[in-house]
Amino acid sequence: GAVVSQHPSRVICKSGTSVKIECRSLDFQATTMFWYRQFPKKSLMLMATSNEGSKATYEQGVEKDKFLINHASLTLSTLTVTSAHPEDSSFYICSASDRTFSGNTIYFGEGSWLTVV
Amino acid sequence: AQSVTQLDSQVPVFEEAPVELRCNYSSSVSVYLFWYVQYPNQGLQLLLKYLSGSTLVESINGFEAEFNKSQTSFHLRKPSVHISDTAEYFCAVSDLTDKLIFGTGTRLQVFP
């Protein structure tokens, strides 16, 4: 079963409103999670690194005031798209790493489709 | 900084034929390499990964990839594809952290 869960899987919101997407690690604690964005028929672009208990680290070109990331616990990171516009419509996906003594495995969530109308 | 190049945006192939999806990377440090598969309207699934050790890694569904350090490549191969292998395949590199840099993807289309 899924070890990283995202919610909602699909969301439609009106232009100008904000929408929150959750990313949860189900069976392990993740001090770091990552948020990616995938444009239609394009690759995944890393948006930011979500750090538990501290500020997120954003990649160049990503507006931190528009894409608010909060990592309040070891199992939950949230991405809030503020004042959404149609161009923010995209597939957003998170990842988290399950670190064990034998190495680490990166798991991806199922992704969240955001449509801004 | 790392980068990944997937030269083939689309690869059409007939069922039961062999296939190779190319991936080249660049990095100034040691890397981990990954192949992910994305079926239509779904998230990413790890297909296989190279961390260390044997340069040939295999997946449970018949795919394999070989890490070639001198050619900075990590091509994905399957000797006989099925219709169900139709999907988007992404090569990715990590600089020993959990942050992945993805290639642009290759659409594998298997025809009957």
- Residue B59 neighbours by CB under 8 Å, 6+ apart: B35, B47, B48
Cβ of residue A103 closer than 8 Å to a chain B Cβ: yes
The pLDDT assigned to A2 comes to 60
Whether B43 sits inside 8 A of A111 (CB atoms) is yes
The pLDDT assigned to A1 comes to 55
Q: What is the 3-state secondary structure (H, E, C) of A55-97?
A: CCEECCCCCCCCEEEEEEECCEEEEEECCCCHHHCEEEEEEEE
Higher-pLDDT residue of B3, A18: A18
Q: How far apart (Å, rounded) are the C-alpha atoms in residues A33 and A35?
A: 7
Q: Which residues of B touch A106 (CB under 8 A)?
A: 34, 46, 94, 98, 100
> CB pairs below 8 Å between A and B: how many?
48
Residue B43, pLDDT > 90, answer no
Q: How far apart (Å, rounded) are the C-alpha atoms in residues A51 and A74?
A: 9
- Of A78, A77, A80, whose CA–CA distance to A29 is shortest? A77
The pLDDT assigned to B13 comes to 97
Question: b or e along B1-11 (b: 16 or more beta carbons within 10 Å of the residue's beta carbon)?
Answer: ebebebeeeeb
- Of B25, B26, B33, B27, whose CA–CA distance to B52 is shortest? B33
| pLDDT per position as a tens digit, A57-104 | 999 999 999 999 999 899 999 999 999 999 999 999 999 987 764 556
Chain B nearest-CA distance from A83, in A, is: 26
Whether A108 sits inside 8 A of B98 (CB atoms) is no
Q: Which residues of B touch A97 (CB under 8 A)?
A: 98
Q: Which residues of A touch B51 (CB under 8 A)?
A: 103
Q: Which of A32, A43, A46 sits opposite B90 (nearest CB)?
A: A43
